[in-house]
Amino acid sequence: MYCINAVLLIQNVLPNIATHMIFTGIDREISGELKSQVGVYKSSTNEFPKPEDNSGIFMAVDSSQKVGYHHAIYCSKRMQYQLMMSKIMGTIQPLSKQALFESYKKFSTYESCFQYLRLLKEQNGVRNEIYLSKVIDSRRCTPASISILVYQRRVTVTGDYNSFAPTYEKTYTPIPIEVKADIAVKVEDLVLPRHSIIFSNKMITRALVWYQGEMQVIQQCGKDQPAWYLITNLTEKPSKNLAWALRQYNEIAGKNEMLLGKSELPIKSNLKKLSRTNSDLEDPHYKIVKLVRRSRSTQRVNGVLVKKSQCHNYQKKSLRSSLRNRLFPLKGDSVD
Q: Percentage helix, strand, coil, to 5, in the chain? A: 30, 25, 45
Collapsed DSSP state (helix, strand, coil) of residue 191: coil
Q: Where does the pLDDT of residue 1 fall: very low under 50, low under 70, confident under 90, or very high at 90 and above?
A: confident
Domain locations along the chain: 2-95+253-291, 108-185, 188-242+298-334
Q: Where does the pLDDT of residue 334 fall: very low under 50, low under 70, confident under 90, or very high at 90 and above?
A: very low
Over residues 265-277, mean pLDDT: 60
CA within 13 Å, CB half, 299: 11
* Calpha distance 232→52 (Å, rounded): 34
Over residues 313-327, mean pLDDT: 57
CA within 13 Å, CB half, 91: 0
Q: Which residue has the higher pLDDT, 143 or 272?
A: 143
- Least Cα distance to 107 among 218, 9, 190, 217 occurs for 190
pLDDT at 16: 45
